[in-house]
Chains A and B, each alone.
Chain A
Amino acid sequence: MSARPPMMGNVPPASVPIAFFGAAAVGLVGFGMAAWLAADKIVASPIYPGTLSAVHVAMLAFLTVGVLGALHQFAPVIGQRPLRSVAVARVSCVGIVVTAWLLPTGFAHGPEDLVPLGGVIGATTVVLIGWNLSGPLGRGATGLPVWGLRCSVTFLIATVTFGVVYAFNRQTAWFPLLPHRVLAHAHLGLLGWLGLTYVSVAEKLWPMFLLSHRPSDRSGHVGVWSLAAGVTVLTPGLLFGQPAVAWPGGVLVGVGVIAHITSLATYIRHRRRPLEVLHAFVLASAGFLLTAGVLAALAGALDVTTVARTRLVSAEVMALTAWLGLAIVGHVHKIVPFIGYQVLRADGVATGPGGRPLLFSDLTSKRPAVASLVCGTTGGAAMVIGILTTSSATVATGAVLLSVTGVITTLNLVAGPRRVRRHARRAVAPLPTNSTTTTTVGAST
Chain B
Amino acid sequence: MMNPIADTLVVATTIEALRSVYDPELGIDVVALGLIYDIDVDGDDITIDMTLTTPGCPVSEQLPAEVSQAASAALPDAEVEVRIVWDPPWTPDRMSAEPYDEFGNPTFLLPGTQVGVPRRHASS
Contacts and interface: CB of A to CB of B under 8 A. Distances in A.
B55 A143 contact: yes
Contacts of A273: 26, 108-110
B110 A272 contact: yes
A3 B104 contact: no
Contacts of A41: none
B113 interface: yes
Contacts of A386: none
B61 A78 contact: no
Given A11-B61, A143-B56, A273-B109, A354 B25 contact: no
B62 A358 contact: no
Interface string B12-47: 000000001010111100000000000000000000
A73 B78 CA distance: 33
A208 B54 contact: yes
Interface string A79-92: 01000000000000
Contacts of B109: 272-273
B60 interface: yes
A181 interface: no
Interface string B93-110: 000000000011100111
B100 to A, nearest CB: 11
Interface string B57-69: 1111110011001
How many chain B residues sit at the interface, stated as a range, is 20 to 34
A356 B25 contact: no
A213 B88 CA distance: 14
B8 interface: no
A145 interface: yes
A207 B54 contact: yes
A3 B69 contact: yes
Interface stretch (A293-301, A337-345, A377-385): A337-345
Contacts of A342: 62
B104 A354 contact: yes
Contacts of B57: 77, 208
Contacts of B105: 356
A178 interface: no
A171 B105 CA distance: 62
Contact of A208 (B25, B69, B91, B113): B25
A356 B104 contact: yes
Nearest to B89: A213
A268 to B, nearest CB: 11
A358 B24 CA distance: 7
B54 A204 contact: yes
Contact of B69 (A5, A11, A335, A358): A5
B6 interface: no
How many chain A residues sit at the interface, stated as a range, is 35 or more
B26 A211 contact: yes
B61 A213 contact: no
Interface in A257-298: 271-274
A356 B20 CA distance: 11
A223 to B, nearest CB: 18
B110 A360 contact: no
Nearest to A339: B58
A354 B54 CA distance: 28
Nearest to A337: B24
Nearest to A345: B62
A360 B24 contact: yes
B22 A211 contact: no
A165 interface: no
Interface string A294-329: 000000000000000000000000000000000000
Nearest to A346: B62
Contacts of B122: none
A13 to B, nearest CB: 13
A102 B108 CA distance: 47
A140 interface: no
28 contacts: A3-B73, A5-B62, A6-B69, A9-B61, A77-B57, A77-B61, A80-B56, A80-B60, A145-B56, A208-B54, A208-B57, A213-B89, A213-B91, A273-B26, A273-B108, A273-B110, A274-B110, A338-B24, A338-B25, A341-B24, A342-B62, A345-B66, A355-B103, A357-B27, A358-B22, A358-B24, A359-B27, A360-B25
